[in-house]
């Protein structure tokens, strides 16, 4: 039985990945940070109670990483832990850089020292490209990385550290450059779930307006379930490498609002208002990824469409609100 360690297991991707690996017969271990309210900490994992083993730790707490890797001795490491909110990274730049860059360095050092025969996956991000776009409007592995947020800058460092450790120490360390991916488990301060929750709340007359930032940002949105499958494929490819995971379709925040509100029988223009406090100091305007390498080499294909993903999210809030 293979043993997998997932950092950030209590997040959207971590919880879906835990389910996926359990379904493949893995022994699953997870690291999570301590929250003062336990219900907020493991709400995405309640249904897995007893099936996984979790540990308190932090990417910035080197001794906790040593303790966990010594105890688990994993065959596979999925480093999903991060300060994950791009807009908030402008408010907390130092913490973001420490966690998303130096935290990756800490993980790589402990991995190299304790279990170098394991395979290592790093959750890299489309935010690393910033506003660099090829002439045909697509971001590829060859597209220059010019990030426009502290989050993106930190992710570039983490990405390069993984490549460096692979070449310098012969480690099976790989990067998945994941474009935006959502699900009913996405935090409600991320724009997709904020729009869905807000629209359902308006439908149920629980609120009157929905405040958003830039309505003309374009993103390549997929489903987290599809993307955790890709993580496993990337890690288990015979050669450690970099892969982009994306749908190849892009939608604006305005498109997102139009689809969600129309599915609820409403016109978003009556309810959505812009608030400058949600604007980024430097905007990332357009993301659309080329996942042809993952499709051709790994055989990965997304199963969810943009609309099906949003319908799942709407259904969740219709039940909960």
151 given a catalytic annotation? yes
Q: Which of 127, 182, 224, 286 is catalytic?
A: 127
Q: Which of 151, 165, 286, 304 is catalytic?
A: 151
**Helices within 264-305 (DSSP H only):** 292-293
- How far apart CA 300 and CA 262 sit, in angstroms, is 31
Q: Which of 10, 89, 125, 217 is catalytic?
A: 125
- How far apart CA 33 and CA 13 sit, in angstroms, is 15
188 given a catalytic annotation? no
Q: How many CB atoms lie within 10 A of CB 48?
A: 17
Buried b (16+ CB within 10 A) or exposed e, 250-269: bbbbbbbbbbbbeeeeeebe
16 given a catalytic annotation? no
- How far apart CA 31 and CA 107 sit, in angstroms, is 12
Kindly give the interhelix angle for 12-23 and 224-235, rounded to the nearest 10 degrees.
Answer: 60
**Helices within the chain (DSSP H only):** 12-23, 38-42, 62-72, 86-89, 93-97, 103-114, 150-169, 191-203, 224-235, 253-263, 292-293, 306-320
Active site residues: 125, 127, 151
């Amino acid at each position: 039985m293979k043993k997998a360690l997932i950092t950030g297991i209590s997040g959207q991707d971590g919880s879906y990945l835990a389910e996926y690996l359990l379904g493949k017969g893995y022994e699953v271990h997870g690291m999570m940070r301590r929250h003062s309210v336990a219900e907020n900490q493991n709400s995405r994992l309640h249904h897995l109670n007893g099936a996984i083993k979790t540990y308190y730790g932090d990417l910035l707490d080197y001794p906790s990483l040593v303790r966990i890797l010594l105890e688990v001795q994993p065959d596979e490491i999925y480093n999903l832990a991060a300060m994950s909110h791009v807009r908030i990274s402008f408010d907390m730049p130092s913490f973001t850089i420490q966690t998303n860059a130096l935290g990756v360095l800490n993980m790589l050092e402990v991995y190299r020292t304790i279990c170098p025969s394991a395979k290592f996956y790093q959750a890299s991000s489309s935010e690393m490209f910033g506003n660099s776009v090829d002439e045909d409007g697509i971001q590829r592995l060859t597209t220059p990385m010019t990030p426009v947020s502290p989050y993106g800058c930190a992710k570039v460092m983490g990405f390069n550290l993984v490549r460096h450790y692979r070449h310098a120490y012969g480690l099976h360390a790989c990067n998945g450059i994941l474009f935006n991916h959502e699900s009913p488990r996405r935090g409600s301060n991320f724009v997709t779930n904020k729009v869905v929750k807000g629209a359902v709340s308006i439908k149920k007359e629980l609120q009157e307006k929905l405040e958003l930032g830039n309505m003309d940002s374009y993103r390549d949105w997929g489903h987290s379930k599809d993307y955790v499958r890709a993580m496993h494929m990337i890690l288990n490819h015979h050669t450690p490498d970099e892969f982009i995971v994306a749908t190849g379709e892009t939608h604006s925040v305005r498109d997102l609002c139009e689809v969600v509100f129309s599915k609820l029988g409403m016109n978003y223009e009556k309810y959505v208002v812009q608030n400058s406090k949600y604007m980024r100091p430097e905007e990332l305007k357009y993301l659309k990824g080329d996942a042809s390498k993952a499709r051709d080499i790994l055989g990965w294909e997304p199963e969810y469409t943009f609309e099906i993903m949003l319908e799942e999210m709407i259904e969740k809030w219709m039940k909960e609100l």
